[in-house]
Amino acid sequence: MGITQRTQVAIIGAGPSGLLLGALLAQAGVDAVIVEQRSADYVLGRIRAGVLERGTVELLERVGVADRLHREGLPHNGFDLCFGGARHRIDLHRLTQGKRVVVYGQTEVTRDLMDHRAAKGLITYYEAQDVAVLDFDGEHPRVTFTHQGQATELHCQFIAGCDGFHGVCRASVPPQAITQHERVYPFGWLGVLSRTPPVAEELIYSNHERGFALCSMRSHTLSRYYVQCSLQDRVENWSDEAFWDELRLRLDPQAAAQLVTGASIEKSIAPLRSFVAEPMRFGSLFLAGDAAHIVPPTGAKGLNLAASDVHYLSTSLIEFFKEGSRAGIDTYSQRCLSRVWKASRFSWWFTSLMHRFPQTELSGGAIGYRLQQAELEYLVQSEAAMTVLAENYIGLPF
Ligand code: RFL
Ligand code: PHB
């Protein structure tokens, strides 16, 4: 015999979307259970995002999990664009009348939200197998899964699909009910985490003839670097030395000279993709975060978009349970997608501006590269163009 449980909201996925939604609902007294297919350690082992917009920080503050973020997070007032062998600062703070971003790893956000969930005694089923979302087009949605060998059935009013790009929720929607827009870029990012001091105090985004490079960080002693690589590249074929040599070549002479290298703690290749699924609601099933959309990481928007979806979803569900209003639920998809498409546009634009594209692409080859240099020169000379970049980078309002 299996176990049957009841909850108001079943959340699928304990990534940042699912955990943040769980915290916001719990704070409002809405009952939610999280079902995650991996272990907590596995989820914490993924090195991903590093840049948080103000709106994301505010949500974490609202649920009371921002103490460590305020202690250890690094506020950044700007970043550098590097091209033609020189760096040019984008002064986010000045261009946006005092706004900034915070560098604080997704792993740490996830850990803080997990600790908060555990401290409140909220239920998360980790290592759930064969998760299925059922009957979300009717009155009685259900989630079924196997947990520690027990068949479990979760009866709920709503299902939140926070299960990432490869999750089960979007895949369970009938194909005729969903439109999926996708662009896969003809390159990837090779990322390295190393226990070395960052090359500069702020991030450096570099456009170089050999390809894009990014210098980021997690703390004053932990650096995160990326170089554009071929989709055919295998991480095993990139020695640490080869990575550092390639990164150095793509930076300006001063940064190249200052770069401190060391053993990699993590090294991985990520493909780059723009993807949006429309709509984001199907009856009682809501998609949020990477389950509904993917942006290339160049604009640092993925985690922040997940947070804005979760803001819209939590307020919609709280409105329903506290006031009996369906207004938020009915406009959820439209409100999310309006912001999602703007962030997708920005991420696509910034990716197109900064990477080397193959000759065969419209923006590729030598002419594509010369056009990028012209746009970059214009960008750093034009207050208007820099303001557009800054406004999008610090995050559109939600
Ligand atoms: P996640 O983090 O993928 O979490 C989904 C969770 O669902 C679980 N799951 C299932 N659970 C139950 N049943 C199933 N059938 C399930 N299938 C999957 C998974 O195990 C997982 O735990 O999605 P979420 O929560 O929507 O969060 C999205 C963010 O993770 C993502 O957008 C960002 O990491 C993107 N991103 C960045 N975003 C930023 O805002 N700023 C950045 O600087 C930034 N840098 C990045 C990035 C992503 C990167 N990669 C590798 C994709 C840099 C990189 C390299
Ligand atoms: C990161 O630190 O991992 C990072 C920072 C900025 C980006 C993408 C990734 O645009």
Compute the distance from residue 27 Cα to the ligand 2 centre, in Å. 30
Question: Does 91 map to a domain?
Answer: no
Does residue 109 register a pLDDT over 90?
Answer: yes
Question: Does 40 map to a domain?
Answer: yes
**Maximum CA extent, the chain:** 70
Per the CB < 8 A criterion, the answer to whether 24 and 63 are in contact is yes
User: Within this chain, do residues 25 and 40 fall inside the same structural domain, yes or no?
Assistant: yes
User: Which of the ligands is closest to the CA of residue 127?
Assistant: 1
The CATH number of the domain holding residue 177 is 3.50.50.60
User: Within this chain, do residues 261 and 390 fall inside the same structural domain, yes or no?
Assistant: yes
**Tens digit of pLDDT for each residue in 151-174?**
999 999 999 999 999 999 999 999
- Of the residues 216, 217, 298, 389, which should be mutated to test ligand 2's pocket, given the most ligand atoms within 8 Å of the CB? 216
- Return the pLDDT at 1: 66
Question: Does 224 map to a domain?
Answer: yes
pLDDT band at 270 (very low <50, low <70, confident <90, very high): very high
User: Within this chain, do residues 345 and 374 fall inside the same structural domain, yes or no?
Assistant: no
The CATH number of the domain holding residue 191 is 3.30.9.10
The Cα–Cα gap between 292 and 289 comes to 6
- Mean pLDDT score, 31-39: 98
Question: Does 341 map to a domain?
Answer: yes
pLDDT band at 361 (very low <50, low <70, confident <90, very high): confident
- Mean pLDDT score, 345-356: 98
- Of the residues 290, 309, 351, which should be mutated to test ligand 1's pocket, given the most ligand atoms within 8 Å of the CB? 290
User: Within this chain, do residues 135 and 282 fall inside the same structural domain, yes or no?
Assistant: yes
Question: Does 86 map to a domain?
Answer: no
- Return the pLDDT at 45: 87
The closest of 194, 197, 216 to 205, measured between CA atoms, is: 216
Per the CB < 8 A criterion, the answer to whether 12 and 18 are in contact is yes
CB 252: neighbour CB atoms within 10 A? 18
The mean predicted confidence, pLDDT, of the chain is 97
Does residue 46 register a pLDDT over 90?
Answer: no
3-class DSSP state of 164: coil
Compute the distance from residue 76 Cα to the ligand 2 centre, in Å. 13
- Mean pLDDT score, 59-85: 97
- Return the pLDDT at 47: 81
How many domains does the chain fold into?
Answer: 2
Tokens encoding 96:
């946006």
Question: Does 79 map to a domain?
Answer: no
- Return the pLDDT at 167: 98
User: Within this chain, do residues 257 and 135 fall inside the same structural domain, yes or no?
Assistant: no
User: Within this chain, do residues 7 and 130 fall inside the same structural domain, yes or no?
Assistant: yes
Q: Which atom of ligand 2 is nearest to the CA of 49?
A: 3
User: Within this chain, do residues 150 and 254 fall inside the same structural domain, yes or no?
Assistant: no
Task: Domain of residue 31: give its range.
Answer: 3-73+103-181+273-349
User: Within this chain, do residues 146 and 203 fall inside the same structural domain, yes or no?
Assistant: no
Does residue 363 register a pLDDT over 90?
Answer: no
- Return the pLDDT at 229: 98
User: Within this chain, do residues 125 and 148 fall inside the same structural domain, yes or no?
Assistant: yes
User: Within this chain, do residues 254 and 202 fall inside the same structural domain, yes or no?
Assistant: yes
Per the CB < 8 A criterion, the answer to whether 220 and 198 are in contact is yes
Does residue 330 register a pLDDT over 70?
Answer: yes
- Mean pLDDT score, 339-361: 96
3-class DSSP state of 84: coil
The Cα–Cα gap between 173 and 253 comes to 52
Question: Does 80 map to a domain?
Answer: no
User: Within this chain, do residues 365 and 250 fall inside the same structural domain, yes or no?
Assistant: yes
User: Within this chain, do residues 67 and 216 fall inside the same structural domain, yes or no?
Assistant: no
pTM: 0.97
- Return the pLDDT at 355: 98
Question: Does 42 map to a domain?
Answer: yes
Measuring CA to CA, how many Å separate 253 from each of 82, 123, 198, 259, 354? 11, 52, 16, 10, 19
* Residue pointed to by tokens 């993807």: 275
